[in-house]
Amino acid sequence: RAIGKLVMDVDDRGTPVGAGLKVTCSCPDGQRQPAAALSENNIIVCKHGAAALESVLDLEAIARYESNRSRMLQQAREEAARRREREERAKEEQDREIPGERSRIEYGLDAFTESEIEKHLKEACKTVDGLRALATVFPAFVMPVPRPQFCVRCKENYDDRYQDQTICRMRHPDEFCTEMWDTSKISWQHCNRCDGDFDVPDFYRKVSDDGEWCFVGKHT
């Protein structure tokens, strides 16, 4: 097991500066680690790799990193304080103008299921007053006018400004699927198009389940 752990530096946008760094060693621990074992902005190395990295540390860079980190944390705290202050002022104004309504609406939103909320919104669309109210809650920059496009891969219309429609998904086609067996009691499906396995029994550990999608990516 590797015993050294190097925390990767990040820039002002939170991107790891050392992304893609590879550390290799001929010792058993080093050989057992992937060449680029990046996980949550960390790279795991053996004790020899850790010693080598420590020998080339840039002390000025470390100081800049700590300074940038402190500055970013302070900015985040200040922004959070300003946001709380804005929210508190808005709540006070709401209590003056329409007392009790915020608590009533927040309670109802928590109590209703998503399907019940959707049903009420669609019912409100059927009246002029209801539509005016919803147009205020959902202005065009929040809920844009439809701009559908057609994907030749999945044969579906989509609007890339709506998050739920940005991903193209294709299920494993039946004509490319083969039923696989381990003895006469354990079976699963193998897709010959994407080389993935799915419908794998939960208790079966020899094969990983790649899920129901043959393709997940951008629309074409």
Question: Tens of pLDDT along 106-159?
Answer: 999 999 999 999 999 999 999 999 999 999 999 999 999 999 999 999 999 999
Instruction: Quickly state the pLDDT bin for 12 (edges 50, 70, 90).
Output: low
Q: Can you give the pLDDT at residue 31?
A: 62
Does the structure show a pLDDT above 50 at 102? yes
Q: Tell me the pLDDT tens digit for each residue of 34-71.
A: 544 544 456 667 788 778 777 777 777 778 878 888 89
The span from the CA of 126 to the CA of 123, in Å, is 6
Tokens 């129901």, residue located: 212
pTM for the full predicted model: 0.50
**Cα 184 to the chain's mean position, in Å?**
39
Q: Can you give the pLDDT at residue 36?
A: 44
Helix (H) or strand (E) holding 171: strand 167-171
Of the candidates 193, 189, 179, 200, the one whose C-alpha atom is nearest the C-alpha of residue 209 is: 200
Please answer whether residues 42 and 85 qualify as being in contact, where contact means their C-beta atoms are separated by less than 8 angstroms. Answer: no
Average of per-residue pLDDT across 193-211: 92
Q: Which residues pair with 182 in a beta bridge?
A: 186
Angle, helices 59-97 vs 101-111, to 10°: value is 110
Supply 117's token pair. Answer: 């909320």
Q: Can you give the pLDDT at residue 49?
A: 78
Q: Which residue has the higher pLDDT, 17 or 95?
A: 95
